[in-house]
Structure 1
Amino acid sequence: MITSPMHPIYFVLVAILPSTLFLIFSLATAHSIFSQLFIGLKNLIFKNDSAVTFQSKLPIRYIVQLISNTTWITILLTSIAVLFFKFTFQHVDFYLGNTFTESKEITESVIRYLNFFPEKLGLINFDYKIIEASFIKDGLDDAARSLWAKWIIIMILFHGLLPRILVFGYYVVRSLLHSVPQTPIISQPTILDQAIEKPLVIRAPKVEVHGQGNYQVALDITDQIRLSPDVIKLNDIETFQQFELKHKADPIETIDIFVDGNLMPDRGLLRRMIRLLNLAEHATIHVLTQDDYQKSMWHKHLSSVLVEGEAANYEIQ
């Protein structure tokens, strides 16, 4: 609720500071402060490996900036509209008195600072004589009150709304000019359904990869199976996606993949295995089991997954 008398400087600062601080932070860090919340929410919703994941041709920072700036523009436009109707249809008085100091010099300095660019651009012609009269309650005439009302709206418009519109326009242009890099399509598994036997996951031809470095990773390995401390456990989808995203840009020369051979080679596990195989130049899958039947099951399924330069070992663990 807008009370009367109103302190014009205090009201303007309260109106524009939140938007300005969030805008400075987003520009300084190249992303909005809400981007981590946005990404976290996306990962929470699409944490299931079989779920449909969020995809966009635009970088996520573009999307978050467009959403954030659209929200702030809507808030500021609404505030300006509410103030316009408030000042048009109701009598509002203005008073510059405060608790800590009655310094007219400080008050005038703040107003001159806020007025610097608007006055240069001819948006406002401020009469600084009304500052002294504004320290006296009920000391303003109608012309002075009208000037304060116009000043408040222009300050919110110039210092709050205009920067948001400029940044929004910048990201709109960047989004329109953005082009998705032409990268080779990583082979994706296809499903060969059979009426009697468990469906096999058939791997598409592998895109040639040249990488560097050696990695050992484990899929769905429980703590009961002891592995080297160097083995990276990719048991949850978030850790898996982070590893995959990193090495899509930085491929691996050799990768050793450890799986619990006592598990059934289901589609989800095999699909994740294929995605890891596609990240490396050479790969070895270590199936850890003592069960001969499980070995035969894994051998059957891995025969449709492995390509030249990749191998499978069946070990006793």
Structure 2
Amino acid sequence: MARSSAAPARGAATTTRRQRRVLVTLGAAAVVAVVAFLLVDISGDWGFALALRGRKVAAMVLVAVAIAVSTVLFQTVTHNRILTPSIMGFDSLYVLLQSVGVYFLGAVALANAPPELRFAVEATMMVAFAVVLHRWLFGRHGRDLYVLVLAGIVFGTLFSSGTNLVSRLIDPNEYQTLQDRMFASFGSVDTRLLAFSAVVVGVAVAVAWASRRELDVVALGRHPATTLGIEHRRVVNRQLVLVAVLVAVSTALVGPITFFGLLVANLARQLLGTFRHHLALPAAALLGIVALVVGQLVLERVLGYTTALSIVVDLIGGTYFLALLLKEARR
């Protein structure tokens, strides 16, 4: 009897050690990637080069953490690991805002507008859209969460159609400027926005981390969570607000990266072999930092800026998304 009870305990201890090794390895990889990005192939003024690269690294770390955490939270509350917050229409709304801005103000005026104002308008509009959509669907009567997802998909399609319409009305000479804004860029991040973004992301991540045990229970499903004493609707509502804030800040800061969260969140769970959020949240964030920093390093030093990093990430993430769909279809 003692042997039979000792075997599961040894197995659990082995699993815990392996998970800790995974986190330590990801942390070390993130540090190595950041140091390599800062120091590799520096020429000229070290102070200027480190300041420029440090700004990029700060933006990549913020975006990686925000998108990774928001995706883990979104997949937890929707109980679906092939969904990402971008499916709610955030990316399409961001591109529509850029298109409308170029059409009414012109590319030059939009580029010369205060970055704080542009950031505030874009982030506020995306958060407001998420909150209004959520209140509209869940204000009085509790409905299935998938209704919210489907509504987000419909609005995303509507925003994309609006973008196509506005794009046809824009002066062809200004359309190139609009195209540049449709893809995430870490080279044009304004330093003045980093501190505010870091505060917002830090607070949102801290709130999510404080809810990690509740999220473990919510991941079991609505009825098990309610049976175990969790106010399921309250927890889900709070997490959806956090998701909206994190995605809005990261998108307004650098632009949309559609499949990045899907990639890092699922890879983190596969590496850890668990859905427990005290492990999944930091693992996804560290994996995101490694992916963005290494990807940008390869893009700059090997490919010579021949393409945008978000295009490469979306290509890999889209392929991974299709693989997940095929895997789920076989079950």
Taking structure 2 as the reference length, the TM-score comes to 0.23
When normalised by structure 1's length, the TM-score is: 0.24
Whichever structure has more helix as a proportion of its residues is: 2
Structure that is richer in strand per residue:
1
> Which structure exhibits the higher relative contact order, with contacts defined as CA atoms closer than 8 Å and separated by 6 or more residues?
2
